[in-house]
A = this chain, B = another copy of it.
């Protein structure tokens, strides 16, 4: 049994993480760390945890206090704040999964350009494994710090990386057109997420400016050994959760639907959470699970590859638990099936 601390438990990724950890036979949540001074119970913050985790409170704890209570930490914090916390915990011997963007990008300059802050832990950036087990399982296994991937990048990298590796699509000119449920925007009320604005509404946002774009570039570039720049357009769909990414790439030569599908099948043959399907998936088919469904088809001059995940599970907290399992040496699917 490992003692676990969660930073930032009051958001949606925090909630999903607590639900998963409550079911995990090897994890005991011993600290919920927050800046709130009034120690609200977690069931006040998340009424869906009433009767489930009534005893736990959000507490304002120092890294020393956390180190006394926990061996492992999940950081669901804003960028910059997260790296600062991670550094403090790692220095006190904890292992950490960081759910922020702080350690995902390997190039400090790119990070500082897109996030507009000085990186608080420059030593570890570039040396931290990217927590997508399907691509970096071995590096994750031995790590004490893992950078949990962004939700959109997960949905774009998993369908495209094997095709790039197999040389079936060209690195140049890739388009990633994605739709997310509104929980992807976090739990803070804002006009764009106000129900009567977001409901019955579908919109593009952050056109050309979303911070997940360089993250996709980097990991896909790593997959094929070439620099590349994707064009990524996120959309907000009127639903709670789920991401569907429809990716368009220039096929190399005659790459057929069958060839695309076969390459994906081969890449994911042994993966516990990825299924290559014969019909276009829906976000609903993977909602509330850590599963991934991928579909590929050649359409005229393009390879079209569609990927569905749950943005809060495989796109955040489920991946975090998957990384936790690998880092701790548990069965990778524990608490996730």
Binding site for B on A (CB under 8 A): 12, 22-23, 47-48, 50-52, 172-173, 175, 177, 179, 181-183, 187-191, 193-205, 207-208, 229-231, 233, 235, 237-242, 244, 246, 248, 250, 273-275, 277, 279-289, 291, 293, 295, 297-302, 304, 306, 308, 337
Q: List the B side residues contacting A306 at CB < 8 Å.
A: 204, 207
Contact of A284 among B201, B235, B284, B285 (CB under 8 A): B201
A-B contact pairs, 11 of them (CB 8 A): A48-B286, A173-B250, A173-B302, A179-B237, A182-B196, A199-B239, A200-B287, A202-B242, A202-B283, A208-B304, A229-B300
B48 and A287 contacting across the interface, CB-CB below 8 Å: yes
Task: Report the copy number of this chain in the oligomer.
Answer: 4
Q: Top 9 closest A-B pairs, CB basis?
A: A208-B299, A203-B282, A189-B189, A201-B284, A51-B275, A182-B195, A195-B198, A177-B177, A183-B196
Nearest B residue to A279, CB-CB: B47
**Distance (whole angstroms) from the CB of A87 to the closest CB of chain B:** 31
B246 and A200 contacting across the interface, CB-CB below 8 Å: no
A276 to B233, CA, bound (A): 19
A285 and B196 contacting across the interface, CB-CB below 8 Å: no
Known: A47-B285, A194-B189, A288-B288. A179 touches B199 (CB 8 A): no
A187 and B193 contacting across the interface, CB-CB below 8 Å: no
Q: List the B side residues contacting A193 at CB < 8 Å.
A: 189, 194-196
A232 to B183, CA, bound (A): 28
Q: List the B side residues contacting A50 at CB < 8 Å.
A: 275, 277, 285, 291, 293
Q: List the B side residues contacting A202 at CB < 8 Å.
A: 179, 181, 237, 239, 242, 244, 282-283
A301 and B231 contacting across the interface, CB-CB below 8 Å: yes
Nearest B residue to A248, CB-CB: B175
Q: List the B side residues contacting A287 at CB < 8 Å.
A: 48, 200
Known: A208-B300, A282-B203, A287-B200. A190 touches B187 (CB 8 A): no
| Residue among A193, A244, A250, A284 with most chain B CB within 10 A | A284
**Distance (whole angstroms) from the CB of A321 to the closest CB of chain B:** 15
Nearest B residue to A244, CB-CB: B202
Nearest B residue to A182, CB-CB: B195
A238 and B235 contacting across the interface, CB-CB below 8 Å: no
**Distance (whole angstroms) from the CB of A171 to the closest CB of chain B:** 12
Known: A202-B282, A208-B304. A237 touches B238 (CB 8 A): yes
| Residue among A194, A230, A233, A246 with most chain B CB within 10 A | A194
A326 to B216, CA, bound (A): 49
A297 and B22 contacting across the interface, CB-CB below 8 Å: no
A196 and B204 contacting across the interface, CB-CB below 8 Å: no
Q: List the B side residues contacting A299 at CB < 8 Å.
A: 207-208, 231, 233
Q: List the B side residues contacting A277 at CB < 8 Å.
A: 47, 50
A241 to B298, CA, bound (A): 29
Known: A179-B235, A202-B179, A207-B280. A196 touches B12 (CB 8 A): yes
Known: A207-B304, A283-B203. A191 touches B194 (CB 8 A): no
Contact of A244 among B173, B203, B304 (CB under 8 A): B203
